[in-house]
Amino acid sequence: MRISTPGSMTSQSISGLGPHGERASDPRRLVITASDAAAARSGGYRVALVLHTMAGNWSEQNLAAIAGTLGDVAIPLLDVVDCEFDPDRQIEALDRLIAERPDAIISLPVDNIAVAEAHRRVARAGIKLLLLDNVPTGLLPGKDYVSLVSADNFGLGRIAAELLADHLPQDASVGVLTYDVDFFATNQREIAFTKWMGAERPDVTLHTAGFRAPHLAGETARAFLGAHAALDGLFVVWDEPAVPVLEQLDALGAGMAVTTVDLGEKVAPRLADGTILKGVAAQNPFLQGVAMAQVAILSLLGRQTPDWIALPGMPITPSGILGGYQSVWRAPAPRQIMDIRDRKNPDR
The mean pLDDT value for 109-117 works out to 93
- Domain borders along the chain are 10-152+284-313, 153-283+315-343
Integer Cα distance of 30 and 78 in angstroms: 24
pLDDT tens digit sequence for 295-308 = 999 999 999 999 99
Taking 60 as the threshold, does the pLDDT of residue 12 lie above it?
no
Taking 50 as the threshold, does the pLDDT of residue 30 lie above it?
yes
Domains 10-152+284-313 and 153-283+315-343 share a fold: yes
Q: How confident is the model at residue 152 (pLDDT cuts 50, 70, 90)?
A: very high
Taking 60 as the threshold, does the pLDDT of residue 284 lie above it?
yes
Supply the pTM of this predicted model: 0.84
> Do residues 257 and 167 touch, judged by C-beta distance below 8 A?
yes
What integer best gives the mean pLDDT of the chain? Answer: 92
Integer Cα distance of 278 and 208 in angstroms: 20
The mean pLDDT value for 106-133 works out to 96
Taking 50 as the threshold, does the pLDDT of residue 55 lie above it?
yes
| pLDDT above 90 coverage of the chain, percent | 82
Integer Cα distance of 120 and 21 in angstroms: 20
The residue ranking higher by pLDDT, 273 or 56, is 273
DSSP 214: G
> Do residues 70 and 47 touch, judged by C-beta distance below 8 A?
yes
pLDDT at 18: 86
- C-alpha atoms less than 13 angstroms from C-alpha of 22 in its C-beta half-sphere: 25
Q: What are the residues whose beta carbons fall under 8 Å from the beta carbon of 266, sequence distance 6 or more?
A: 239, 243
Q: What CATH number has the domain spanning 10-152+284-313?
A: 3.40.50.2300
Tell me how far apart the 2 most distant CA atoms of the chain are, in Å.
Answer: 63
Taking 80 as the threshold, does the pLDDT of residue 5 lie above it?
no
Integer Cα distance of 207 and 267 in angstroms: 23
- Count of beta carbons in the 10 Å neighbourhood of residue 254: 16
| pLDDT above 70 coverage of the chain, percent | 96
The residue ranking higher by pLDDT, 58 or 337, is 337
User: Long-range contacts made by residues 340-343, C-beta under 8 angstroms, separation at least 24?
Assistant: 340/269, 340/272, 340/273, 341/272
The mean pLDDT value for 332-338 works out to 93
The residue ranking higher by pLDDT, 132 or 4, is 132
Q: What are the residues whose beta carbons fall under 8 Å from the beta carbon of 88, sequence distance 6 or more?
A: none
- Using DSSP's 3-state secondary structure scheme, residue 162 falls into helix
DSSP 110: S
pLDDT at 6: 30
- Count of beta carbons in the 10 Å neighbourhood of residue 1: 4
> Do residues 218 and 247 touch, judged by C-beta distance below 8 A?
yes
Integer Cα distance of 145 and 180 in angstroms: 25
pLDDT tens digit sequence for 91-104 = 999 999 999 999 99
The residue ranking higher by pLDDT, 254 or 166, is 166
Q: What are the residues whose beta carbons fall under 8 Å from the beta carbon of 294, sequence distance 6 or more?
A: 27, 30, 31, 32, 69
Q: What CATH number has the domain spanning 153-283+315-343?
A: 3.40.50.2300
pLDDT tens digit sequence for 192-219 = 999 999 999 999 999 999 999 889 999 9
pLDDT at 346: 58
pLDDT at 56: 80
pLDDT at 113: 92
Q: How confident is the model at residue 345 (pLDDT cuts 50, 70, 90)?
A: confident
